[in-house]
Amino acid sequence: MEMEPWEMWVRSTELHAFVHHYETRLWPLMQTLHLFGFTLLIGTVGSFDLRALGLAKGIPLAAIHRLIPLGIAGYIGNILLGIVFFFGHPEQYFYNNAFRLKLLFMAVAGINILLFYGSSAFEEVKTLPAAASVPLRIKIIAGTSLCAWVAVLVCGRMITFNRPPFFH
């Protein structure tokens, strides 16, 4: 397959040269950090989602929501790492259906987050008494979040098994 102009540009960047030069040491390290980020994301956001869905009802939703900034930190770290991965081997990601599906589920999770913070759902979370039952709308958002993040993990893991059969 011929190299497209966008890929020629990616391969002309300093970032690509850096990843390429230090690849043997950098790649396992970045993958490990990527797993740390995901563990933090699933741990915090997943706990909040499970609580909203009815597990551990003794925890006020507002209190467990304080975990979310850590999940966001993990998410931002992983996006940055993802950009570095992409610049290292652009064709291995761009022509990869697992990677494309992963972006799709990241978009689903992102839109879901916007729905949560952009609507009155977030205000409800902040004021909901500890013992009160969680409104259905928030449960749907939590369930969508949980499924979307697990799907992101599944697609991410599948990238390896769906690599295009060529290296540039």
> Pattern of binders to other proteins over 7-26, x per CB under 8 A?
----------------xx--
Residues near other proteins (CB under 8 A), total = 38
Instruction: Give least dist CB 53 to other proteins, A.
Output: 11
Instruction: Give least dist CB 153 to other proteins, A.
Output: 6
Determine if 126 is a binding residue for other proteins (CB under 8 A).
Answer: no
Reported for 28-31, long-range contacts at CB under 8 A and 24+ positions apart, including other chains, are 30/81, 30/84, 30/85
- Measured between alpha carbons, how far is residue 125 from residues 18, 47, 109, 149, 164 in Å? 44, 15, 19, 21, 44
Q: Encode 107-143: b = buried (16+ Cβ within 10 Å), e = exposed.
A: ebbeebbebbeeeebeebbeebeeeeebeeebeebbe
Residue of the chain from 49, 52, 86, 89 that contacts other proteins (CB under 8 A) = 89
> Pattern of binders to other proteins over 35-64, x per CB under 8 A?
xx-xxxxxxx-xx--x----xxxxxx-xxx
Sign, CA dihedral 4-5-6-12, equals positive
Residues of this chain that interact with other proteins (CB under 8 A) are 23-24, 27-28, 31-32, 35-36, 38-44, 46-47, 50, 55-60, 62-64, 66-67, 70, 89, 150, 153-154, 157-158, 160-161
